[in-house]
Chains A and B, each alone.
Chain A
Amino acid sequence: MRRAILPALPGQRNGHTFHLQDIRFFKMKPPIFWELISSQDVEKPFLDFDSKQVFSPLYRHFGEDPIVTGLIFTVLVFIGVTVYLILYVIYLRIKSNLYQKKKARKFAVWEQNILPLIGSEVEIPSLIIETIKKRDYELFAEFIAPYLKDTKGDFLMRSIDVLRKVGVMEWERHQLKHSKLTWRRALAVQRLGEFRDQDNVTDLIHALNDEEPIISLNAAGALLKIGDNKLLKKVISVLLKNEHLTEELFAEILLNYESPIDLDYLLNKEVEKYPALARLKVINFIEHYNREEGTTRSIEIIKKSKKAIRILLDDENLPDEVFEEILLKYKNPEELEHILSQKVEKFPKDSMNKIIDYIGYLNRLEGVPILIDLLGKSKNDEQTICLIKALGNLGSEEALPLLVDYLKSGHPAIRAQSAQALGTLKDETTLEPLSRLLEDKDYWCRYYAASSIFQMGDKGREFLQSFCDLTQDPFARDMITQFLYKPQ
C-alpha cells in the first residue's frame, strides 16, 4: 500500500500519516466524511489547524483589523496580477521570437529556392506548390508581396501563377470579404493590388464603395495598379464622390497607375462631368506632375492644365471656394488677366479684387489696358479703389489722366487712393491737381496728397513750401509742416 506523509502544518504536533486509500472518503457524502474524520479511527484530522497560527506573523503585527486585512489582500492581488502580466509578456515575447525565427527560416529557404525558380523559365515543381499550399500560404503572401511591388513582366506573371496555385489569391479575397478586422481587410486590398491579378478586379471594385475610407481609398490605389485607362475612368468616377478624398490622396492614388494616363480624358471629359471641386482635384493632380519641371511631359501637362483651368473658369456656376482656390494656386498673370477681361461681372467682388491686387503687384504692363478698361466701367467703389491701387503699383503713365480725374471723386477713399497712386508716377503735371487735395476735409486725402508731392524731390518740396506760405487752411499747413520738417 502506497502511503503519503503530509508535512506538519503549523499548530499540528506531528506529521499525520495518511493512507491514499482514504481519499475515497472525500468522494463520500459530506456527513459521512465529517463523521469519519471526527471519529477515533482518524488520529487527528489533518484539516484541523488554526488559521491564526498559520498566518501568525501577520496577526502578530497587524492584529485582526479589517482595513489592514483588506490592504494585505489588495497587495497580494496586485502582486499576483503583476506576476501574471510579466509571465504573459514573457510568453508573448517567446512566441513572437519563435514565429520570427520560423519566418526567417522559411523566407531564407524561399529566397534561395523559389525566387530563382520564379525568375527563371524552369517550371515550378508541384511538390513546392503543395508544400506551401498545405501550410504556409499566409506567410508566403507576406514573403512575395514586397518583390512584386517593383516588378512587372514575366516575373510578375509567374509570381501571380504561383500565388493562384498556392491559394494566396483566394485567401486574400476571402479576407477582404469576410474578415471582421478593418486592418486585415485593408491589408488584403493592398496585397491584391500588389499581386496585380485581373481576377481581383471585381472584388476590388466592390471594395471601392466600402464605408471605411481606408478600404475604399486603398481599393482605388489597388485597382489603378492593376488596371488600364478604362478602369482608371471608373475608379476616378467613384473616387471623386468619396468625401474622404483629399488632393494629396488623390494625387497619390493616381500615381499608382502604371500605364500612361489619358490626360485628355481627365481634362476634358471628367472636367466637364464632375462637380467643380472634384474637377479642381483632377487639375491638382496635374499640378503634382508639374513639379517635374523641364521635362517634355511636364510641359505638355502644364499646357493641358491651363486649358483645364480655362474650362473651369468658363463655368458660370463655379462655386466661390473653387474660384478662390484657383486664385491661390494658379497665380498665372495671363490666366488672371483672362479672368478680369471676361468674367468681371460674374465672379464675387472680393475674389475679383484679389486678382486686381495681385496683378498690381506682378509689374506686368500687359495688365494695364485691362485695368484701365475696368476702371472706366467700374461702378463699385471698393473695386475702383483696388483698380487705382493696382494702377499705382504698376506705375503706368497711361493711367495718369484717369487717376487725376478720380482726385475729384465724391468718395474720400478713392481720392486718397488716387493721390497715393499719382505719387508713384512722380509726374510734375500732377502737382496742381494734387495741391487741391491738400485742403481736403479728409485727413488721408491731405496726407497722401502731401506725401505724393513730397516724393517728387526738390521741386515737390519747394511747391509744398510755397503752398504752405499761401494757404489759409490750418489743416493743410499742419500736414505740409509734418512732411517738410519731419525728422530725416
Chain B
Amino acid sequence: MCLLISLKMVIRKGFNGSPHRENKFMARVLVIEDDDHIWKIIQYKLKSENHEPIWANDGLKAMKILEEIKPDLIISDIMVPYMDGIQILKEIRSKEELKDIPVIMLTSKSQEKDVIHGLKMGAQDYITKPFSPAELILRVNKALKLV
C-alpha cells in the first residue's frame, strides 16, 4: 500500500508538465475499435494532445453515438463487430450532417484490399497495424488540419 501511494505521488510529479492540465479540448475524436488495448493507447495519446476521445467498441454503438454527437474526426478499425469499418464509412458518407467528417481507417496488414475500397469511399487516410501511436497522432492532427 505504501509503495502504491508513493508510486502515485511519483506519477503525479511526473505529469506536472503534461498537457492534461488544460481543460479545453481541441477536437472530439470518435474511436471505433473493438480491441481494448488499442483503444487505451489511442485514448492516452489523444488525451496527451488535448483531444477528447470517445470510444465505440462496435459498429452499432458508433452509429448510435453519431446520432447524438458530431465528432471532429473518426478513427475506425475495419474489422469491428456488427458493422465493419467500410459499412460505417458508407453510412457516414450517406448522411448530410456527417459526410464532411474526416475518417482515418485502422487496419491489419492483410486488409489492404479493404483499405483501397475505404479510400475510394472517401476515407481521409489509413494506418496499418502494428502502428506507431506518435505517427497516428501526427496523422490525426494532419486530418484535423492542426499541422
Q: Does A212 contact B (CB under 8 A)?
A: no
CA distance A292 to B15 in the complex (A): 45
Within 8 A of A (CB), among B71-121: 109-110, 112-113, 116
Min CB gap A401→B, angstroms = 49
Q: Which of B2-10, B50-58, B62-70, B139-147 contacts A (4 or more CB under 8 A)?
A: B2-10
Which among B14, B17, B18, B130 has the highest number of chain A CB atoms within 10 Å? B130
Q: Does A119 contact B (CB under 8 A)?
A: yes
Q: Does A162 contact B (CB under 8 A)?
A: no
Q: Chain A contacts of B112 at CB under 8 A?
A: 292, 295, 297
Within 8 A of B (CB), among A102-141: 109, 111, 113-117, 119-120, 122-125, 127-128, 131
B44 and A116 contacting across the interface, CB-CB below 8 Å? yes
Q: Chain B contacts of A123 at CB under 8 A?
A: 14
B116 and A153 contacting across the interface, CB-CB below 8 Å? no
A295 and B132 contacting across the interface, CB-CB below 8 Å? no
The dominant DSSP class at the B interface is helix
The dominant DSSP class at the A interface is helix
CA distance A149 to B40 in the complex (A): 13
Our pick among A119, A127, A131, A255 for the contact of B48 (Cβ within 8 Å) is A119
The size of the chain B interface, using a CB distance under 8 A, is: 33
A117 and B133 contacting across the interface, CB-CB below 8 Å? no
Within 8 A of B (CB), among A253-294: 255, 258, 292-294
Tally of A-B residue pairs with Cβ under 8 A? 91
Q: Chain A contacts of B131 at CB under 8 A?
A: 150-153
Min CB gap B40→A, angstroms = 6
CA distance A424 to B136 in the complex (A): 64
The size of the chain A interface, using a CB distance under 8 A, is: 33
Residue of A nearest to B4 (CB): A109
CA distance A119 to B3 in the complex (A): 23
A147 and B41 contacting across the interface, CB-CB below 8 Å? yes
Q: Does B26 contact A (CB under 8 A)?
A: no
B4 and A122 contacting across the interface, CB-CB below 8 Å? no
CA distance A128 to B11 in the complex (A): 8
Our pick among B109, B129, B134 for the contact of A155 (Cβ within 8 Å) is B134
Q: Does A64 contact B (CB under 8 A)?
A: no
A119 and B41 contacting across the interface, CB-CB below 8 Å? yes
A117 and B11 contacting across the interface, CB-CB below 8 Å? yes
CA distance A124 to B10 in the complex (A): 9
Given contacts A150-B37, A255-B110, A293-B113, contact A119 B44 (CB under 8 A): yes
CA distance A144 to B16 in the complex (A): 24
Q: Chain A contacts of B135 at CB under 8 A?
A: 153
Q: Chain B contacts of A381 at CB under 8 A?
A: none
Residue of B nearest to A152 (CB): B130
A109 and B37 contacting across the interface, CB-CB below 8 Å? no
A120 and B133 contacting across the interface, CB-CB below 8 Å? no
Residue of B nearest to A293 (CB): B113
Q: Does A376 contact B (CB under 8 A)?
A: no
A115 and B18 contacting across the interface, CB-CB below 8 Å? no
CA distance A150 to B34 in the complex (A): 13
Q: Chain A contacts of B130 at CB under 8 A?
A: 149-152, 156, 258
B109 and A153 contacting across the interface, CB-CB below 8 Å? no
Given contacts A117-B11, A119-B48, contact A147 B116 (CB under 8 A): no
Given contacts A109-B7, A155-B133, A155-B134, contact A150 B38 (CB under 8 A): yes
Q: Does B45 contact A (CB under 8 A)?
A: yes
Q: Does A146 contact B (CB under 8 A)?
A: yes
Residue of B nearest to A144 (CB): B37
CA distance A111 to B15 in the complex (A): 14
CA distance A154 to B47 in the complex (A): 17
CA distance A326 to B44 in the complex (A): 51
A115 and B41 contacting across the interface, CB-CB below 8 Å? yes
Within 8 A of B (CB), among A461-483: none
CA distance A146 to B7 in the complex (A): 23
CA distance A255 to B111 in the complex (A): 12
Min CB gap B82→A, angstroms = 21
Q: Chain A contacts of B129 at CB under 8 A?
A: 150
Our pick among B8, B15, B35, B38 for the contact of A122 (Cβ within 8 Å) is B15
Our pick among B14, B15, B35, B132 for the contact of A154 (Cβ within 8 Å) is B132
B7 and A127 contacting across the interface, CB-CB below 8 Å? yes
Min CB gap A228→B, angstroms = 15
Q: Chain B contacts of A119 at CB under 8 A?
A: 41, 44-45, 48, 133
CA distance A294 to B37 in the complex (A): 32
CA distance A153 to B130 in the complex (A): 9
B7 and A128 contacting across the interface, CB-CB below 8 Å? yes
Given contacts A109-B7, A151-B132, contact A122 B17 (CB under 8 A): yes
Which residues in A have some Cβ–Cβ distance to B below 8 Å?
109, 111, 113-117, 119-120, 122-125, 127-128, 131, 146-147, 149-156, 255, 258, 292-295, 297
Which residues in B have some Cβ–Cβ distance to A below 8 Å?
3-4, 6-8, 10-11, 13-15, 17-18, 35, 37-38, 40-41, 44-45, 47-48, 109-110, 112-113, 116, 129-135
Can you name 9 A-B residue pairings with CB atoms under 8 Å? A113-B11, A116-B48, A122-B15, A128-B7, A149-B37, A151-B130, A153-B133, A295-B112, A295-B116
Q: Which 3 A-B pairs have the closest CB atoms?
A: A153-B132, A113-B11, A150-B129
Given A116-B44, A152-B130, A152-B131, 20 further pairs, Cβ under 8 A: A113-B8, A115-B40, A115-B41, A116-B18, A119-B44, A120-B18, A120-B48, A122-B14, A125-B13, A128-B10, A128-B11, A151-B130, A152-B132, A156-B130, A255-B109, A292-B110, A292-B112, A293-B113, A295-B116, A297-B112
